Amino acid sequence: MQISPSILSADFANLESELGRISNADWAHVDVMDAHFVPNLTLGTPIVEALAKVSPIPLDVHLMIQDPDRWAAGYAEAGAKSVTFHIEAVADPIKTARAIRAAGARASMAIKPGTDFEPYADLLPELDMVLVMTVEPGFGGQSFMADQMTKVAQVRRAVQRSGGEIWIQVDGGVSADTIGQCAEAGADVFVAGSAVYGADDAAAQVSALRSLAQQHEH
């Protein structure tokens, strides 16, 4: 049960100290948006490289960009330890996943709420994680989509069948109120932006979320 707070809800003028607030988390989730795949623009490889140098925990980069085939491995080279591309955006998922792994990071595929998982189940041997989005990607602070829990359970069954050690991440609207159902459905990596950075004590919130997830373990 791992917690990956999203720095999208952090103070962008003070990212080093904002990373320090979540040093007890397992990962720091970094949302890369290009204003094309999603209607928002955040940051790219120069900032990921700078964050990797000062972060007390590994970076979990979530690419919400077009043409991840071209850019994904560069984020691993910049120091990210996990790189997620969207299946709706990638042209060659196998080649892209292999390039991420060759550059030294875990390779992960994200699925938007309206996208079915089943057509992509054969990709599991190439992946270290599947991210099931629980909001439409683009912004923090949106409402959790509980209807995505059937997809989480479906991915969990496919992972069990494939036999690999593949993590299942949920991202969007994850909070103390919603993390339990995610864990019950089979998720084991939990992204939380506003729930963590909106708390006075972010580290205490990380611990609280982790123990809630453990109580509801699949």
Residue 27 to residue 32: CA distance in whole angstroms: 15
Q: Which does 141 bind (CB under 5 to 8 A by kind): ligand DX5, Zn ion, none?
A: ligand DX5
Residue 149 to residue 86: CA distance in whole angstroms: 19
From the CB of 102, what's the least distance to ligand DX5, in Å?
25
Q: Which residue reads 């459905």 in tokens?
A: 185
From the CB of 93, what's the least distance to ligand DX5, in Å?
19
Considering only residues 62, 151, 156, 210, which one is a binding residue for ligand DX5 as defined by CB under 6 A? 62
User: By the 8 A CB rule, do 84 and 93 touch?
Assistant: no
Q: Which does 156 bind (CB under 5 to 8 A by kind): Zn ion, ligand DX5, none?
A: none
Active site residue 92: no
Q: Which residue reads 């190439």 in tokens?
A: 126
Residue 32: phi and psi, rounded to 5, are: -100, 115
Query: Would strands 129-133 and 28-33 be described as parallel, antiparallel, or unpaired?
Result: unpaired
Considering only residues 83, 159, 174, 187, which one is a binding residue for ligand DX5 as defined by CB under 6 A? 174
From the CB of 7, what's the least distance to ligand DX5, in Å?
8
- Centre a 10 Å sphere on the Cβ of residue 71 and count the other Cβ atoms it contains: 18
Per-residue x/- marks for ligand DX5, 126-165, CB under 6 A? ---------x-xxxxxx-----------------------
Active site residue 171: yes
Per-residue x/- marks for ligand DX5, 86-115, CB under 6 A? ------------------------------
Quickly list DSSP for 40-58. -B---HHHHHHHHHH-SS-
User: By the 8 A CB rule, do 73 and 85 touch?
Assistant: no
Residue ranges binding ligand DX5 (CB under 6 A): 6, 8-9, 29, 31, 62, 135, 137-142, 171-174, 191-195
Residues assigned a catalytic role? 31, 171
